[in-house]
């Protein structure tokens, strides 16, 4: 096994691939993190306050969330890559392990994001679509942009994160699914999608009512997850696994209200796209001919840096930048312009040989870049145009031409300080075989950590052969705690029979105002669906912890308190003047197929089983002692 892994590592490391997929992966990972931070800010008091808005235990949480948001924005833009990936990784670990996020508000993808963040530390995520790449260009301004090659990276940067973050996860999940009756019956996709708490606002009943389709989807997912780790690197099967995986997680994102989990998994499929597809996409979106030719002063540092910046964001290659000193004489349309005048501004020619200068050149550049067309329109608006023109003239007229001296010739680009460059380019280039052997040992260690989770909790525990008091079991738990905290390795027993068996009732909350009129709290609607934005980790709190097959009153009281205090404040309700009604709806979660089960659960009637009242910042309950028997 060791020799096989070492040989495979050496083979993959020697194969170069475009950096496009890695850059896009980093960008999408940053966006998913950023949207989750915005979600946490919105539900800050519900998640982190012991009593929302009343007992605020962590007043600095919004400040640290904003810091994390800045880091996530920098990560998305690819700015100071090593620093931002390290900070982002630490933020995920701290918030997941030292706040109520893990205990009461598990997002379902937190540990997955920790694992992905760990691999980002060692990935060349700054090689494409990044500000760091631009900064390295700007450090040598007199090198023309045509001199920079499109960066390539080792295929290992694509393969290892997919194998460990997706392959290990899928294999572990497939082991757990084999113990679930509804998955063995071919209803793994069907059962969760018939439960009101779990579905999105999109009605998928027309698909759920096709039993054959559900059987095909469920068994396909089982085969897909069980075999992914073994065959996804095969050239002929790579596209098959890509398309099935995209369909699986896009379906989760659209049909369930755990969209962050679906999005988090989807971003990994940018790493599974065949390399030749990136080259084909590049040729497809690249302009067939230049739309605008811009002339600049080749000896002006400011002009050179401006050109490098504009070219960096010209992703469709619609603009050509040429030295006015070397190329202007070749264009008859510029013959009427004095050479000295030509060097004072950026001049441009479009495809109709129309001349632009100064601010008008920038307006045309933005318009020709396609995706920045709105900026060009804004700069053209009366008032804004005049302000921009005045500012431009101040900069253009006062700039000092700085001829290139010997310092320009010996200037060096900013050093690459990423861990990928240190380990996968510097160290590996010197001793490739020693590098492959060391990496093989690390991968074997990760495999052992994953097997500890999969074998112990996926097989031994489910066969009821586990003795929690044994030394082996305790050592396994301690090992899992470490690997879960820092690598995101954890059992993936999601939505199995032990979750749905006995799930026969769901709860909702309404309130009576001071006039006695009953209103729905913006939480659970009449169908039993959790309303947006109460999705993701808020859904997990209510549907997986508060309301379970065996409801515990103490736990239920805690979350009724949190939900009523939070949404009461959000909708401007005076808690002391309101009475909250706790309603129950009976549903069914069968492990066998039932036609139109989703709508049957939707239309089941609600009954009021008790109330909750606030008085002087204290809440009291009038609920049955055992809701499970209702």
Contacts 24+ apart (CB under 8 A), 495-499: 495/191, 495/192, 495/198, 496/176, 496/177, 496/179, 496/180, 496/183, 497/179, 497/180, 497/181, 497/182, 497/591, 498/180, 499/544, 499/549
- In a shared domain, residues 507 and 624: yes
Q: What percent of the chain has pLDDT over 70?
A: 97
Q: What's the token pair of residue 62?
A: 């919004």
pLDDT in tens, 330-355: 888 887 777 777 777 888 999 888 99
How confident is the model at residue 341, as a pLDDT?
74
CB 172, CB 453: distance < 8 Å: yes
Q: Indicate whether 611 belongs to any domain.
A: yes
Give the pLDDT confidence of 256-272 residue by residue, as tens digits: 999 999 999 999 999 99
**Model pLDDT for residues 31-42, shown as the tens digit of each residue:** 999 999 999 999
What is the residue range of 524's domain?
497-629
Question: What is the SS3 assignment for 152?
Answer: strand
pLDDT digits (tens, 9 = 90+) for 497-526: 778 888 999 999 999 988 888 999 999 999
The reply to whether 568 falls in a domain is yes
Sequence-distant (≥ 6) Cβ neighbours of residue 353 within 8 angstroms: 333
Residue that terminates a domain, selected from 353, 386, 410? 410
Listed in sequence order, the residues at least 6 apart from 382 whose beta carbon sits closer than 8 Å to its beta carbon are none
Strands 606-615 and 618-622, by their bridges, are: antiparallel
Distance of CA 390 to the CA centre of its chain: 42
Residue ending a domain, among 410, 429, 444, is 410
**CATH code for position 361:** 3.40.30
Q: Whole-angstrom Cα distance, residue 321 to residue 27?
A: 27
Query: pTM for this structure?
Result: 0.92
**Whats the size of the chain, residue-wise?**
630
Is position 357 within any domain? yes
CA angle 181, 182, 185 (to 5 degrees): 90
Does the residue 460 lie in any domain? Answer: no
Q: Examine the fold and report which residue of 348, 379, 410 is the final residue of a domain before the chain moves on.
A: 410
Q: What is the DSSP letter of 330?
A: G
CB 432 within 8 A of CB 13: yes
Q: What are the average pLDDT values for consecutive 10-residue runs of the chain, which has 630 residues? A: 86 90 96 97 95 90 96 96 96 92 86 94 93 88 75 92 94 92 93 95 93 96 96 93 96 93 94 91 88 88 87 92 84 78 83 90 93 94 91 73 51 78 85 89 92 86 74 86 89 81 92 87 95 94 92 93 95 90 95 94 95 93 87
Looking at the fold, whether 389 and 508 belong to one and the same domain comes out as: no
pLDDT at residue 405 in the model? 53
In a domain, 165, yes or no: no
Quick one: 501 and 623 in the same domain? yes
Is residue 223 in some structural domain? no
* β pairing state of 579-586 and 606-615: antiparallel
User: 502 and 397 in one domain?
Assistant: no
- Structural domain total, the chain: 2
- Residue 211 and residue 417: Cα distance in Å, rounded? 55
Handedness of CA 380, 386, 391, 395 (dihedral sign): positive
Statement to judge: residues 602 and 505 lie in one domain: yes
Rounded alpha-carbon distances, angstroms, from residue 351 to 290, 292, 314, 348, 446: 8, 7, 17, 10, 57
Q: What is the pLDDT of residue 456?
A: 81
Taking alpha carbons only, the member of 284, 275, 347, 345 closest to residue 317 is: 284
Residue 169's SS3 state is helix
β-bridge partners, 292: 319, 350
**CB-based contact 555:546 (threshold 8 Å):** yes
CA separation for the pair 268, 113 (Å, rounded): 11
Residue tagged 């055992």 (tokens): 626
* Separation CA 616–CA 321 (nearest Å): 70
522-542 per-position pLDDT tens digit: 999 999 999 999 999 999 999
Q: Which distant-in-sequence residues (6+ apart) come within 8 Å of 408 by Cβ?
A: 141, 142
**CA triple 70-76-77, angle to 5 deg:** 90
Residue 578 contacts by C-beta under 8 Å, 6 or more apart in sequence?
511, 512, 513, 514, 568, 613, 614
What residue spans of 456-540 are helical by DSSP H? 471-487, 497-500, 537-540
Q: Are residues 509 and 625 in the same domain?
A: yes
The predicted structure's pLDDT at residue 300: 82
Q: Is residue 131 part of a domain?
A: no
Is residue 214 domain-resident? no
Q: Which pair of tokens denotes residue 464?
A: 């009821």
């Amino acid at each position: 096994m060791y020799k096989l892994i070492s040989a495979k590592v050496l083979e993959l490391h020697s194969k170069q691939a475009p950096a496009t997929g890695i850059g896009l992966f980093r960008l999408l990972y940053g966006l998913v993190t950023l949207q989750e931070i915005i979600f946490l800010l919105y539900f800050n008091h519900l998640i982190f306050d012991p009593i929302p808005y009343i007992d605020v235990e962590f007043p600095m949480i919004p400040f640290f969330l904003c810091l994390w948001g800045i880091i996530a924005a920098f990560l998305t833009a690819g700015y100071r890559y090593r620093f931002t990936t390290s900070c982002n990784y630490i933020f995920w670990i701290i918030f997941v392990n030292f706040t109520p996020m893990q205990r009461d508000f598990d997002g379902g993808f937190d540990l997955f994001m920790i694992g992905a963040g760990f691999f980002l530390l060692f990935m060349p995520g700054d090689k494409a679509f990044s500000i760091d790449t631009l900064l390295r260009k700007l450090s040598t301004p007199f090198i023309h942009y045509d001199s920079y090659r499109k960066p390539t990276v080792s295929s290992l940067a694509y393969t290892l994160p997919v194998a460990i973050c997706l392959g290990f996860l899928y294999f572990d999940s497939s082991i757990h699914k084999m113990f679930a009756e509804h998955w063995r019956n071919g209803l793994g996709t069907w059962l969760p999608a018939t439960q009101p708490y779990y579905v999105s606002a999109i009605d998928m009943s027309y698909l759920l009512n096709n039993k054959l389709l559900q059987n095909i989807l469920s068994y396909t997912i089982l085969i897909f997850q069980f075999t992914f780790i073994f065959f996804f690197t095969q050239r002929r099967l790579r596209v098959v696994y890509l398309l099935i995986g995209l369909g699986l997680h896009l379906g989760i994102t659209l049909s369930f209200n755990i969209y962050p989990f679906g999005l988090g998994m989807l971003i990994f499929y940018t790493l599974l796209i065949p390399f030749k597809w990136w080259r084909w996409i590049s040729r497809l979106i690249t302009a067939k001919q230049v739309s605008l030719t811009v002339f600049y002063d080749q000896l002006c540092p400011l002009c050179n840096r401006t050109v490098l910046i504009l070219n960096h964001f010209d992703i469709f290659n619609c603009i050509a930048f040429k030295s006015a000193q070397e190329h202007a004489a070749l264009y008859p349309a510029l013959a009427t312009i004095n050479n000295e005048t030509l060097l004072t501004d950026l001049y441009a020619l479009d495809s109709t040989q129309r001349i632009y200068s100064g601010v008008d050149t920038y307006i045309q550049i933005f318009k020709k870049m396609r995706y920045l067309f709105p900026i060009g329109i804004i700069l053209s608006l009366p008032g804004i145009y005049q302000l921009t023109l005045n500012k431009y003239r101040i900069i253009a007229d006062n700039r000092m031409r700085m001829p290139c001296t010997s310092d320009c010739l010996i200037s060096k680009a900013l050093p690459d300080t990423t861990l990928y460059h240190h380990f996968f380019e510097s160290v590996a280039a010197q001793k490739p075989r020693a590098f492959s052997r060391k990496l093989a040992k690390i991968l074997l260690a990760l495999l052992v950590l994953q097997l500890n989770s999969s074998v112990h909790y996926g097989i031994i525990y489910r066969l009821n052969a586990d003795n929690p008091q044994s030394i082996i079991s305790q050592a396994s738990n301690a090992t899992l705690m470490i690997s879960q905290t820092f690598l995101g390795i954890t059992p993936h027993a999601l939505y199995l029979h032990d979750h749905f068996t006995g799930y026969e009732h769901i709860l909702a909350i309404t309130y009576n105002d001071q006039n006695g009129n009953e209103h729905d709290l913006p939480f659970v609607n009449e169908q039993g669906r959790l309303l947006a934005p109460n999705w993701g980790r808020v859904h997990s709190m209510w549907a997986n912890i508060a309301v379970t097959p065996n409801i515990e009153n103490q736990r239920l009281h805690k979350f009724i308190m949190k939900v009523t205090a939070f949404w009461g404040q959000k909708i401007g309700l005076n808690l002391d003047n309101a009475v909250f009604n706790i309603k129950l709806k009976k549903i069914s979660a069968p492990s066998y197929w039932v036609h139109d089960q989703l709508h049957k659960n939707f239309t089941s009637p609600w009954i009021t089983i008790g109330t909750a009242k606030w008085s002087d910042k204290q809440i009291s309950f009038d609920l049955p002692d055992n809701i499970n028997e209702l």
